Chains A and B, each alone.
Chain A
């Protein structure tokens, strides 16, 4: 079921939303860095996952949402 809209039309429709989401994420990184004890969390794996996610957004491969969700998933066996 293909999108009825063209890529340029979709860019026009979503550009401001994409811009906003990225700026909000950047501002949250700044907020965390500017606060007390930021050194303690800068290597937090959650932040590293988000840095990795930003590289996925910027690469040329499709299915970015799926790849980010997989990166954010736990993969160990059943816990007890």
Chain B
């Protein structure tokens, strides 16, 4: 069975992670643009970052027979400075034309500030103007519920947003139901301590079904591991689910969402 990793920050990982993922049948991965662990000191640093994830990382991945795709944005942790953020947004369209850039993400909120919300809204508008998919980061821990509600209210009130072209990431038990009900794609991140465990992800699948559900590991520079995606696949098998259902969750579903970009090449098997 082939597997897709919809969210991993390979700029922070070693080639050993590429090798491990390849050995675990990962055929395609997606790298949303995010915080580097420190605030960048100039908009030009984002230009370099976008070049890295849209040009260099695909060549690294290809050595392990993995297709590498990315998303471009100003992330919420660095969106507090509105003028700075707008300088970054100004050169995003040139990257959105590249063949491995799937859309705008991971935009969203971090501490749920007004400035973060301004930049979130401006990037949603850019995505709609350029017909781009949207990948949304929901805040961490105690800020997640409020931030998720805020973004959902905005998108539902907008009038021009198709929920089928938007994926909310890092969803959990208290945020997934409201998003799923409104027709958005829901990604569940398996990440030690601060996000979901493999067991909780399969609990949510059993409760809400397979439709518009995605799983990712969000491997980054923190205490994370791309293999938690595969741990979750194994958990689904341990819980007695069919191979067809497992394949839908870990391959066909991300294929369906990502192929709306017109650039994602892997095809669903069903």
Question: How many CB-defined contacts (below 8 Å) exist between A and B?
Answer: 62
A interface vs B, CB < 8 Å?
1-5, 13-14, 17, 63, 65-66, 69-70, 72-76, 78-80
Pick from B29-37, B63-71, B139-147, B157-165 the stretch touching chain A: B139-147
Contact A3:B200 (CB < 8 A) given known A69-B174, A73-B145, A78-B113? no
Q: Given the known inter-chain contacts A1-B245, A2-B206, please indicate yes or no for A75 contacting B240, CB distance below 8 A.
A: no
Tell me which of A5, A73, A79, A80 has the highest count of chain B C-beta atoms within 10 A of its own C-beta: A73
Cα distance, A63 to B209, chains bound together (Å)? 16
Q: Is B125 interfacial (CB 8 A cutoff)?
A: no
Interface of A is mostly: loop
A52 → chain B, closest Cβ, in Å? 14
- CB–CB A5/B245 < 8 A: no
Closest A residue to B205 by CB, please name it: A1
- Rounded to whole Å, the gap between the CB of B216 and the closest CB of chain A is 19
Interface residues contributed by chain B, number (CB under 8 Å): 30
Known: A4-B239, A65-B200, A73-B142. 20 other contacts (CB 8 A): A1-B205, A1-B245, A3-B206, A4-B240, A5-B239, A13-B238, A66-B173, A69-B144, A69-B145, A69-B174, A70-B145, A70-B174, A72-B141, A73-B143, A73-B144, A74-B112, A74-B146, A78-B112, A79-B113, A80-B113
| Residues of chain B within 8 A of A2, CB atoms compared | 206
Residue ID in chain A nearest B146 by CB atoms = A74
The closest CB in chain A to the CB of B144 belongs to A73
Contacts of B210 in A (CB 8 A): 1
A66 CA to B147 CA, complexed, in Å: 16
* 9 nearest A-B pairs in the assembled complex, by CB-CB distance: A4-B240, A73-B145, A69-B174, A66-B173, A65-B173, A74-B142, A1-B209, A66-B174, A3-B206
Chain A residues positioned under 8 Å from B240 (CB to CB): 3-5
Flag if B146 contacts A73 (CB, 8 Å).
Answer: yes
Contact A78 B117 (CB under 8 A): yes
Q: B154-179 vs A: 1/0 string, CB under 8 Å?
A: 00000000000000000011100100
Contacts of B238 in A (CB 8 A): 13
* Across-interface contacts of A4 in B (CB, < 8 A): 239-241
Q: Which B residue sits closest to A10, measured CB to CB? A: B239
> Does the CB pair B205–A73 fall under 8 Å?
no
A76, closest chain B residue (CB): B146
Q: How far is the CA of A13 from the CA of B199 in the complex (A)?
A: 11
Nearest Cβ distance between residue A20 and chain B, in whole angstroms?
13
Q: Which residues of B contact A73 (CB under 8 A)?
A: 142-146, 174
Partner of B206, one of A1, A13, A74: A1
Q: Smallest CB-CB separation from B202: which chain A residue?
A: A3
Asked whether any CB of chain A lies closer than 8 Å to the CB of B150, the reply is yes
